[in-house]
Structure 1
Amino acid sequence: MKQVVVLGCGAWSTAIAKVIADNVASSNEFCSKIAMYVRGETHNDRNLVDYINNDHINPVYLPCITIPTNVVANSNIKEVVSDADIIVVAYPSRYVQWLIKQMNGHVKENAYFVSFCKGLVLYSEENRVKLVSDMIREQTGKSCVVVSGATTAIEIAEQQFTEVTIGAKNYDHGSEVKRLLQTNYLRMVITQDDVGVELCGGIKHVVAIAAGICDGLKLGDNTKSAVLRIGFWEMSELMKELFPDRGTDWLTIEQSCGMAELFICKSFRYLLFVFL
């Protein structure tokens, strides 16, 4: 059976770990326990690993949710990944390169990655941007599936219905990830356009911030609708401009990773820009 691990202890990674743990508990395909990498962090002078393993809560990032008992937290990343077949990365994109350096040389030959990271990596010296999944592939030599969509951690943890897009050139890996994650409240759709899926998840933040600024300036729904429409169009143009030879499909933007992402621009995550 396949061993699954989750790298990260934020709200998003905790919610993902909960979904996976619930699914694998009675699975004949995946190991019934999952490991969760938690970088050394404390809360009220107590290690976060201790909270997760003994109290089954994450008091820092998702305090209102009970974590399944088959989630085992560990602050030693080498131990976490050494037996893993599927490595789920739910880490801030700016720290992924550091994460890779910590685990390199300890990942199994046939293991592959699943990236939930939203964002792009800027290489200023090369004057270009790079996808997080590309960085993972290049620096580990492993395959990487991409997952993105209109999601908030708390709603997934509360089992509210959600749609998510899986981007996978390797269909077998994409199908396996779907079996790992899909539930009666979490619907997965697979596309081979992994570049489009990840790019939508990264650049929609720019459009979302612009929409929040519209609210802050009290510009009204007409203006914000125009911003969202133009932003939607520019997302499709950027897909072609940044990665013209990677098989991006403009239809990808109609999936949860694109259009639906823009629908949550009024969520609490962007309210900060209302008050600028």
Structure 2
Amino acid sequence: MEKIAVLGAGSWGTALAMVLIDNGHEVRLWTHNQNHAEQINQTHSNEEYLPGIHLPASLTAYHDLSKAVEGVNAIVFVVPTKAIREVCQKLNGVLQDKVTIIHGTKGIEPDTLKRVSEMIEEELRGDLYHDVVVLSGPSHAEEVSQKHPTTITASSNSIDEAEKAQDLFINENFRVYTSPDMVGVELGGALKNIIALGAGISDGLGYGDNAKAALMTRGLAEIARLGASMGANPLTFIGLSGVGDLIVTCTSVHSRNWRAGNLLGKGNDLDEVLEQMGMVVEGVRTTRAAYQFAENKNIDMPITTGLYRILFEGAKPKDVVDQLMTRMRRHEMEDLSTILSNRYSS
């Protein structure tokens, strides 16, 4: 049995805590909100994020970060991207022993264009952890909490740490593969949220399956194009953390990014959408970050650019879709050739 702190009591953090408890570990679930922690402990539920799900009696929620991480062997980050640096800085003052660090946050930081693991490595003292592990793949928290079959990927620069995370989480309902491509696994999980926003917009506009299939397929090409330019293996994007996560996020009402896009497609503005969602929509920040990177590196990302214009420049969703459909003719295989040449030319 391991002692593990899960930082972030949203839907995904709570679901991962339940998996760890099923595997016999002692789990502390940390939230920055004291009332939230008390509600979880008193009712054994997390109605705001996982309504209708009964939580194990052994799951204890904490508001005090120092108590949550006291004596733990591993820490699982599941806080929003915008909170990663702040939480790491706080950990520097309270962690006593070296731990395994795992994160399940899917996003990229605007302006710096850093992946979550890079943010953790910049902020958390190196003597406090071994290596960072990313956990990513097609995994709705609602289904994981109900023990529906789920398969994801663990990746790290250290295969030993990736396998340690695999051992912590794997069970008959929650299968975990390992991958050496940490860059690709992180980017696949983050960038698919952009395309999920687009899929929601397409559905909100009333377009059919043909349009969404085209959006997802061309979106995957954009993900691979950007990923290869950052050093990822393009083959990662046809795996669980790429196309697998893309499918589940673009096609399910469980997806908050799809739901946000759907509201945008129906005519709501971004502020209205974020207020209605009541939860972090990582795809919004990631769209800004990916657009900035593409502009800086001159990478062709028309779907991402279109979504940026909708989110931050007030463009009409239908106008953007029409412009995408009337772009210059090109050969589909040009993309694959370009992606592979970018990856392997150096």
Bucket of the pairwise TM-score, normalised by the shorter protein: 0.7 to 0.9
1:20 & 1:136 partners in 2: Cα distance? 22
Q: What TM-score does the superposition give when structure 1 sets the normalisation length?
A: 0.87
Q: Report the equivalent of 1:159.
A: 147
Q: Does 1:254 align with 2:238?
A: yes
Aligned amino acid, residue 19 of structure 2 = V
Q: Report the equivalent of 2:334.
A: none
Secondary structure of the 1:219 match is: coil
Q: 1:224, CA displacement in angstroms? A: 2.0
Contact 1:85 1:108 in 2 (8 A): no
Contact 2:197 2:260 in 1 (8 A): no
Secondary structure of the 1:121 match is: coil
Q: What TM-score does the superposition give when structure 2 sets the normalisation length?
A: 0.70
Q: How does 1:15-164 map to 2 (within 5 A)?
A: 15-24=15-24, 32-41=25-34, 47-122=35-110, 124=111, 128-140=112-124, 141=126, 142=129, 143-164=131-152
Displaced runs of 4+ in structure 1, greater than 6 A?
A: none
1:236 & 1:272 partners in 2: Cα distance? 24
Secondary structure of the 2:106 match is: coil
Secondary structure of the 1:91 match is: coil
Aligned amino acid, residue 37 of structure 1 = W
Greater Cα shift, 148-157 or 259-268: 259-268
Q: Report the equivalent of 2:9.
A: 9
Aligned amino acid, residue 33 of structure 1 = E
**C-alpha distance after superposition, 1:218-257 (max 9, x if no partner):** 333222222111111111111122x23xxx2111112211
Secondary structure of the 2:251 match is: coil
Runs of 5+ consecutive residues of structure 2 not aligned to the other structure: 268-346
2:54 & 2:259 partners in 1: Cα distance? 27
Contact 1:165 1:255 in 2 (8 A): no
1:164 & 1:233 partners in 2: Cα distance? 21
2:228 & 2:243 partners in 1: Cα distance? 17
**C-alpha distance after superposition, 1:27-66 (max 9, x if no partner):** xxxxx4211112124xxxxx32223223311122113112
Q: Does 1:266 align with 2:251?
A: yes
Contact 2:3 2:27 in 1 (8 A): yes
**C-alpha distance after superposition, 1:137-158 (max 9, x if no partner):** 1211232100011111110000
Q: How does 1:227-242 map to 2 (within 5 A)?
A: 227-241=215-229
Contact 1:84 1:107 in 2 (8 A): no
Secondary structure of the 1:70 match is: coil
Check 1:218–1:50 CA distance in 2 against 1; reply closer, same or farther (3 A cut): closer
Point out the structure with max Rg over C-alpha: 2
Identical pairs, percent: 31
Greater Cα shift, 73-82 or 215-224: 215-224
Runs of 5+ consecutive residues of structure 1 not aligned to the other structure: 25-31, 42-46
| Structure holding more helix per residue | 2
Aligned amino acid, residue 33 of structure 2 = G
Secondary structure of the 2:114 match is: strand
Q: 1:168, CA displacement in angstroms? A: 1.6
Secondary structure of the 1:160 match is: coil
Greater Cα shift, 188-197 or 103-112: 103-112
1:182 & 1:230 partners in 2: Cα distance? 33
Aligned amino acid, residue 251 of structure 2 = K
Contact 2:71 2:97 in 1 (8 A): no
1:211 & 1:59 partners in 2: Cα distance? 27
After superposition, the CA RMSD in angstroms is 1.6
Count, aligned residues: 256
2:247 & 2:162 partners in 1: Cα distance? 25
Q: Does 1:173 align with 2:158?
A: no
Check 1:221–1:55 CA distance in 2 against 1; reply closer, same or farther (3 A cut): closer
Q: 1:273, CA displacement in angstroms? A: 2.5
Contact 1:150 1:261 in 2 (8 A): yes
Q: How does 1:160-239 map to 2 (within 5 A)?
A: 160-239=148-227
